[in-house]
Chains A and B, each alone.
Chain A
Amino acid sequence: MPTNLSARLCTFVLSLFLIAFALPAFAGPFEDAVAKFANDDYSDTDEAIGVVASSGNKLAFPIISALQDGRLMADPDSKKVYVTGTDGKSIDAATGEPVASVPDSASAVRLNNRLRRSVDAALGSLTLQSPDLGARLQAAQSVFKSHEETALEPVEGALAKETNKSVKTALGDARAAILLFKSDATEVQKLEAVATIKARGDQEALALLSDIGTDQPPSVAKAAASAISSIQSSLAVWSSVQNAWYGLSLGSVLLLAAIGLAITFGVMGVINMAHGEMVMIGAYTTFVVQEVIRTRYPALFDYSLLIAVPLAFLVAGAIGVLIERSIIRFLYGRPLETLLATWGLSLVLQQAVRTMFGPTNREVGNPSWMSGAFDLGQITITYNRLWILVFTLAVFMILLAMLRYTALGLEMRAVTQNRRMAASMGIATSRVDALTFGLGSGIAGIAGVALSQIDNVSPNLGQSYIIDSFMVVVFGGVGNLWGTLVGAFTLGIANKFLEPVAGAVLGKIAILVLIILFIQKRPRGLFALKGRAVEA
């Protein structure tokens, strides 16, 4: 141990000496630039970034990356600047010498968007040869975006050494972007650059090519114009793929919100205006689960939704059974009273939640596996939407299986199709009613867990879904789960193809008009339930 320690000390002292000797060569401009960070002035900071990044000093990378993470501390009184490492230890940014502590008067150097872009560009050329693959890729991409001429040399240097294929492509793109904007690049180089960027074929390539300006040689301008039109036509194809995906995603949200209603309204025939509030209760259950996890078991956060799903089902389901037993069972066969009673109930539930949790939105976090997006071709698919689609289909399948293969499911179908016949066969219809309503409410609760990931968790959450849910169930055909599925996806996709053309507001109106026309033609919806006893 002692030798190890002394060896470490030795290298430490040695490195100090090295820095001390190496520094004077850069002392003037570099130190002046570093001191500028302490001025708390955005244009001074911008200038300092430029000088530090191109200084070639070993401290350039630690300083700029600290600036990016808010770890660069500046003392406005003494004009001293410090880099606080990720391990909590600090060094003087101008000399690299370690300091015992950063003075209290120092605060993190502030950034705005313009500076963040400068930092990215500076880090881009500094990390092009980083040993970390991800850092290199990011560096190449930020050079592509900033395409500053000064970065050409480092990019070409990195390109020669790079072995990874995707980084190599990104570096090639970055080089092409720089050449395209370099005023003294040859025509051949520029034509090659246009071809490289055309091959990239995405929106950023389009942006770059549209921005090259008019002072290009005619052949380059022509090549760029043809590249732009070819990228545009391929993007147009992708854009309809994207609309279809958005439609599926919207459809899955509609289906999820409506699936519980398909049971309470569709199967039981109860006009349940409090359905949205069951969704809201599910969302608030998620919030409570996450609060408990945050305070007690932070490590479980990524599993919070999995824990919330059964709990939300139980909470919303229990409330549903309670509502059925205490209110709805007295109102069977009186749709108007049911409508008014459940609507009143929805207001009561909203205000109860408002009193308990406060009127403001509650933060429900996204677990890491539900954040971000990935690119599929030229479209962006966000993880939260993808998971919600998968989740919705799973809930649908489970519900379908339950109705088909379990005893309760059989009883439910029997009671809905012919209540008196079912009763005379010995089925306790009132118990089945309560359980069916509980099931529908519980599923609405599960929907709340998923919707908490994409919408506000506020007392008004349910209101925004109730109209859409009724729309889906009525359109799909009352009493038929498959109808709800097809109805939801049809409406979702139609909406998303109308939206880019007509706008969100008109799109929604158009959908409502189409549904009204459709219901005129087929009052029972897409899949009408056939049979003698439907009305009974």
Chain B
Amino acid sequence: MPTKSIHDIAASFSRRGVLAATTGLMLGLASISGAKAADDTIKVGVLHSLSGTMAISETTLKDTILFLIDEQNKKGGVLGKKLEAVVVDPASNWPLFAEKARELITKDKVSVVFGCWTSVSRKSVLPVFKELNNILFYPVQYEGEESERNVFYTGAAPNQQAIPAVDYLMKDEKVKRWVLAGTDYVYPRTTNKILEAYLKSKGVAQEDIMINYTPFGHSDWQTIVADIKKFGSAGKKTAVVSTINGDANVPFYKELGNQGIKAKDIPVVAFSVGEEELAGIDTKPLVGHLAAWNYFESIKTPANEKFIKDWQAYTKNPRRTTNDPMEAHVIGFNMWIKAVEKVKSTDPDKVIDALPGIEAANLTGGTSKMLPNHHITKPVFIGEIKGNGQFDVVWKTPGLVAGDAWSKELDGSKDLIGDWVGKKCGNFNTKTNKCLGSGS
């Protein structure tokens, strides 16, 4: 493959543009093959915060994409070309996300972007992706109520995480009284609204639901934990459904442990606590508390064991954990590769049309499918925290659950569907048979 090695050299030159510009001879060579080199790699944008408050979660996702690109290039890339990552740092700054997205698409000419964590960052980049017509893969569980042509949601919608978790507690732990505790922003508020409607539809009375919001980074949990204890002593089995985000979890769990609230008395099921978050605490007092995800590192399947092994080898860290949003990126990345191979092009319009219906293996032994509403099918697992910071799966859904873009529990959204295949619309009202269009 002599041509390929020349291309490789050329590609490395174009990457180190400074080097190429230093000598006249090199300059001539680079200007000829430089244009060719740009065609010879397919650029993949990575839009995750590497500094600021969200770096704690997003840095791992950046590494995941670099790892996946590395693996894919070992297999020969895609369409005979190598993939090249373009990493930018939006620094946990929401307006900067939009700027960096624009830079990735217009300056670096990426074919696809993997990125964002918080809903507000996703909302911030949405207009950019619409305007410049590119593709965003969003890997984090979120509140739903959205389906956009340019975005593919590989994380869980509320019906793929929150509702199955509540079902589990209701059936298996016979929970009658509910504390919905969350951080005060859009994801917990919407999720809790959906859960409240769902619980009421199951006959739970208003006085058996306690909703509590705390500011970001809340660290003094004494009053709230005492309130939960009090709420739980009304003679009915009580559970806490936690949408507490990020850093606030550690002091919350510490306070639970210190005040002696055991999982067997009042279990806490969390939607934002994974292997990474637990790495910062001693989990022995937390044994038995629950988390609902679509993936756990401890799930034993050949695909998952290989993934963990390769990931730890790639990061050169034998203790590096894996988590749910990472798996979402794995699925999204493989779906994108398959779609590109199917249409033999990286043109966003063609890929967007090809993606619905594409299937990719997930790491837990099933096959996830991209749906017309740009969400995917996923299994739902309930895991119990173990003493070693990992989870033990105690329950899972019998099959894969299809992600609902629009919640069936809320009045405003239960008639809406997203369908980018037949209706070409993200918010189609099935009652009135009309597409609401943009500006939803």
Query: A residues near B, CB below 8 A?
Result: 42, 110, 112-114, 116-117, 120, 145, 203-204, 206-211, 239, 242-243, 246, 249-250, 253, 351, 354, 359-363, 365-366, 371-373, 380, 382-385, 454-460, 463-464, 496, 499-500, 503-505, 508
Contact = CB atoms under 8 A, between A and B. Distances in A.
A211 B235 contact: yes
A117 B392 CA distance: 18
Given A384-B258, A499-B223, A460 B247 contact: yes
A456 B215 contact: no
A503 B259 contact: no
Interface stretch (B48-56, B127-135, B201-209): B48-56
A236 to B, nearest CB: 11
B288 interface: yes
B93 to A, nearest CB: 12
Given A456-B250, A500-B223, A503-B212, A373 B56 contact: no
Nearest to B184: A505
Contact of B276 (A360, A372, A496): A360
B252 to A, nearest CB: 11
11 contacts: A113-B264, A207-B232, A210-B234, A246-B223, A250-B220, A363-B281, A373-B258, A373-B260, A456-B280, A499-B223, A505-B213
Query: Secondary structure of the A side of the interface?
Result: helix
Nearest to B285: A371
Contacts of B255: 382
A250 B218 CA distance: 12
A456 B249 CA distance: 9
Contacts of A380: 226, 229, 259-260
B394 interface: yes
A117 B247 contact: no
Nearest to A209: B235
Contact of B247 (A112, A114, A203, A456): A456
A458 B214 contact: no
Contacts of A458: 56, 247, 280
B282 interface: yes
A505 B230 contact: no
B250 A113 contact: no
Contacts of B285: 371
Contact of A253 (B220, B254, B260, B394): B220
Interface residues of B, number: 53
Contacts of B56: 359-361, 458, 460
A504 B214 contact: yes
A203 B280 contact: no
A496 B254 CA distance: 19
Contact of B222 (A246, A360, A455, A460): A246
B233 interface: yes
Across the A-B interface, the 6 shortest Cβ-Cβ residue pairs: A361-B280, A211-B235, A210-B235, A203-B233, A207-B233, A359-B55
A210 B213 CA distance: 27
A500 B280 contact: no
Contacts of B39: none
Given A110-B392, A114-B172, A203-B230, A456 B251 contact: yes
A239 B231 CA distance: 13
Nearest to A235: B230
Contact of A464 (B51, B217, B257, B259): B217
B321 to A, nearest CB: 9
Contacts of A210: 234-235
A382 B285 CA distance: 14
B108 interface: no
A117 B266 CA distance: 11
Interface string B278-315: 01111001001000000000000000000000000000
A242 B226 contact: yes
B273 to A, nearest CB: 12
A459 B172 CA distance: 40
Contact of A362 (B276, B280, B282): B280
A16 B400 CA distance: 52
The winner among A210, A354, A504 for most chain B CB atoms within 10 A is A504
B217 A460 contact: yes
B260 A454 contact: no
B341 interface: no
Contacts of B250: 361, 455-456
B169 to A, nearest CB: 10
Nearest to A361: B280
A112 B394 contact: yes
Nearest to B239: A113
A441 B408 CA distance: 54
Contact of B254 (A116, A354, A454, A508): A454
A366 B280 CA distance: 12
B53 to A, nearest CB: 5
Contacts of A365: 282
A163 B374 CA distance: 69
